[in-house]
């Protein structure tokens, strides 16, 4: 699964991301974060796949303070809880 989201400055897996657009790619239980501009991998973090009853219409990031906690994929019931 793949989500492309524009964010304000945020932290994922201890890595600071600047404001911008990023690709969040689920590979098994691993979330790979890439810069949308150049495709460079910035960080890989562990995630746990969860099920929701709702399907969001667009890709979404759920944050707590400035930490990315969840990644929701457009039109999918599965989402990822970020570990760490």
pLDDT at 64: 94
pLDDT at 50: 96
Mean pLDDT of 59-65: 95
How confident is the model over 42-58, as pLDDT tens digits? 999 999 999 999 999 99
pLDDT at 69: 97
pLDDT at 37: 83
Residues 6+ apart with CB under 8 A from 71: 3, 5, 24, 26, 31, 47, 59, 60, 61, 62, 79, 80, 82
CA angle 8, 42, 9 (to 5 degrees): 15
- Taking 80 as the threshold, does the pLDDT of residue 38 lie above it? yes
- Taking 80 as the threshold, does the pLDDT of residue 84 lie above it? no
């Amino acid at each position: 699964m793949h989500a492309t989201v524009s964010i304000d400055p945020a932290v994922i897996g201890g890595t600071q991301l600047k404001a911008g657009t990023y690709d969040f790619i689920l590979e098994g239980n691993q979330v790979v974060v890439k810069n949308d501009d150049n495709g460079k991998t910035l960080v890989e973090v562990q995630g746990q796949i969860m099920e929701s009853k709702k399907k969001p219409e667009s890709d979404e990031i759920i944050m707590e303070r400035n930490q990315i906690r969840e990644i929701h994929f457009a039109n999918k019931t599965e989402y990822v809880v970020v570990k760490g």
